[in-house]
């Protein structure tokens, strides 16, 4: 999956990955995809829930060697 | 556009750990698109006091109280294992280890996402404080009626 922008949140814990995501999403246009890298296991619950409350789409979450790659699509 | 959902947090405590939890939750609400209001009362007012300068108040009891209870976001003790600052120092080291921001930074992030800070005027009066003892980030000085007006329209109301 191709992302328009990538955020490296490795080493950060709640609420910081969400803070950085919320900041970045303001800059993106609707339909664009943001990729978030995180090693906080909580992200795989938090990001889908954050997307649910904000109306964005959590497209998918990949995991590779303890790093989660989360793809969030900005809604219109 | 529809009105945003609302959230309130009463910050009664003035300890670093509790206040970190309060700001974490406020930021969680604000980044989820909610209008968040934090009401600081009693010991919680310490969070909003300026870190610099001295606090001038009248009367021996208030002078003593404000000396022992100086406040300022950088001076908040831990609720447990403070150990005259030793425990707090260690906790701050652990926070740094995981890149967790200190209270002042979380406050700035909360502000960035539009969280409102309200300071309780009753406590200010009782403790002999004045508006100039507080940081400019305070949005308003008010009481319970203001809190209730917002709380009854809010989906999430917390007391910390």
Q: Predicted confidence band at B32 (pLDDT cuts at 50, 70, 90)?
A: very high
| For testing contact with chain B, the best of A19, A21, A34, A40 (most B CBs within 10 A) | A19
Contacts of B112 in chain A (CB under 8 A): 23
- From B126's Cα to the closest Cα of chain A, the distance in A is 35
| Mean pLDDT, rounded, for B27-37 | 97
The count of other CB atoms within 10 Å of the CB of residue B122 is 12
A32-51 residues touching B, CB cutoff 8 A:
50
The count of other CB atoms within 10 Å of the CB of residue B140 is 12
- Calpha distance A74→A21 (Å, rounded): 11
What pLDDT digit, counting tens, does each position of A1-33 carry? 899 999 999 999 999 999 999 999 999 999 999
Q: Predicted confidence band at A76 (pLDDT cuts at 50, 70, 90)?
A: confident
Please indicate whether, in this complex, the C-beta atoms of B32 and A53 are within 8 angstroms of each other. yes
| Mean pLDDT, rounded, for A35-58 | 95
Supply A21's token pair.
Answer: 């995501």
Topology (CATH level 3) of domain B6-159: Hypothetical Protein Ychn; Chain: A, (3.40.1260)
Query: What domains does chain A contain, in order, with CATH numbers?
Result: 5-73 (3.30.110.40)
Please indicate whether, in this complex, the C-beta atoms of A18 and B98 are within 8 angstroms of each other. no
Percent of chain B with pLDDT over 70: 99
Instruction: Please give the ipTM for the structure prediction.
Output: 0.85
- What are the extents of the domains in chain B? 6-159
What pLDDT digit, counting tens, does each position of B52-87 carry? 998 999 999 999 999 999 999 999 999 999 999 999
pTM of the model: 0.93
Place of tokens 């209870």: B69
């Amino acid at each position: 999956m191709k992302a328009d922008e990538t955020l490296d949140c490795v080493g950060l814990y709640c609420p910081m990955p969400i803070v950085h995501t919320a900041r970045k999403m303001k800059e993106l246009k609707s339909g664009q995809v943001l990729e978030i890298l995180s090693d906080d296991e909580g992200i795989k619950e938090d990001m889908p829930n954050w997307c649910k409350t904000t109306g964005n789409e959590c497209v998918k979450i990949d995991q590779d060697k303890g790093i989660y790659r989360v793809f969030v699509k900005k809604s219109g | 556009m529809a009105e945003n959902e609302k959230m309130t947090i009463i910050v009664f405590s003035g300890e670093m750990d509790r206040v970190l939890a309060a700001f974490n939750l406020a930021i969680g609400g604000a980044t989820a698109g909610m209008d968040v209001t934090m009401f600081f009362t009693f010991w919680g007012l310490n969070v909003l006091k300026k870190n610099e300068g001295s606090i001038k108040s009248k009367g021996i009891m208030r002078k003593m109280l404000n000396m022992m209870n100086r406040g300022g976001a950088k001076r908040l003790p831990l609720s447990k294992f403070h150990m005259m600052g030793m425990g707090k120092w260690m906790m701050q080291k652990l926070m740094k280890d995981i890149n967790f921001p200190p209270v002042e930074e979380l406050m700035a992030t909360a502000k960035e996402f539009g969280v409102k800070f309200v300071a309780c005027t009753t406590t200010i009066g009782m403790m002999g404080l004045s508006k100039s003892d507080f940081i400019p980030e305070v949005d308003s000085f008010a009481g319970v009626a203001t809190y209730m007006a917002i709380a009854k329209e809010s989906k999430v109301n917390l007391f910390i």
